[in-house]
Each structure stands twice: as C-alpha cells, then as structure tokens.
Amino acid sequence: MNVAFFLIPKKDIVYLKEKSTMRQALERMEYHSYSAVPLIDNDGKYVGTITEGDLLWKLKNTPGLTFHNTEDIHLSEVEQHVQNLPVTIDAQIEDLISRAVVQNFVPVVDDQQTFIGIVRRREMIEYCSQLLLQRKVE
C-alpha cells in the first residue's frame, strides 16, 4: 500500500508560506489547535515544519520581541528545531511508519519536491490497528 491511500491533499489542510509572519502562524495555529504546520516556499516546495516550540524559542531569544511585533518577523527567520522529513507520493506504508514515530504528520511531495499534502499519524495508527484486528479474527 502506498502513501496516496492515506494522503490528505494540500487543499484540505492548513499550511503556511515561509514569508508568512510569526503572528499569522501563531493565530492560525491557535485557531486550528495545531502544534505544527507545514511550510512551503513561493514555488510550492516543502521547506519544513514550523512548531509552537520554534515560535516560542524565537520569542524567548530575540530581545525586544513581543507578541505585538511578531508581525514583523517572517517564518523564514525562525529556526526550525524539528525536521519533519517528507516522503514522495510513491513511498510505501513502511516509509511512513518509521517517520510517524517522531512526527505527528508526514509531509508528502511529488518528484519535483512540490508539497502535495500530508499523512497524519492518526490514519497510520488506525490502518495498523485494523490490520491487527483482522489478523486476530483469522
């Protein structure tokens, strides 16, 4: 089974452009109750994942930075402490599972590294659970 079976397409998820501001990220993450969001560049390429922790570290380590002036800081200026490595659309379930151990979601890209969506850990766990239940019945 490949990634396409689990893919949540880009149009159905929250992501941010790396030129978005910290304030936009904070507000969007709060509104959707997300702790991490994929980042893409102007060409639609996946460039990383921004986390609440990344934003908090930037706030803590930047003298004079407050919530009110986070609108002056672009996400490209925020260091990413966690690297959510993407998989390509033709990856297999085994490739996803190893990443899901440490990532809430796995970004999916096409052959040109264009971001096309994510696979959430929840769907992978549900799939594995169904497989185990089927084996139990047999």
pLDDT in tens, 36-76: 999 999 999 999 999 999 999 999 999 999 989 999 999 99
pLDDT of residue 57: 96
Report domain extents, the chain.
Answer: 3-137
Q: Kindly report the three-state secondary structure assignment for every residue of the chain.
A: CEHHHCCEEHHHCCCEECCCEHHHHHHHHHHHCCCEEEEECCCCEEEEEEEHHHHHHHHHHCCCCCHHHHHHCEHHHCCCCCCCCCEECCCEHHHHHHHHCCCCEEEEECCCCEEEEEEEHHHHHHHHHHHHHHHHHC
CATH of 3-137, one of 3.40.50.300, 3.10.580.10, 3.90.15.10, 3.20.20.70: 3.10.580.10
What's the whole-model pTM score? 0.86
* Whether residue 136 has pLDDT greater than 80: no
Q: How large is the average pLDDT for residues 29-42?
A: 95
Q: Which residue has the higher pLDDT, 28 or 132?
A: 28
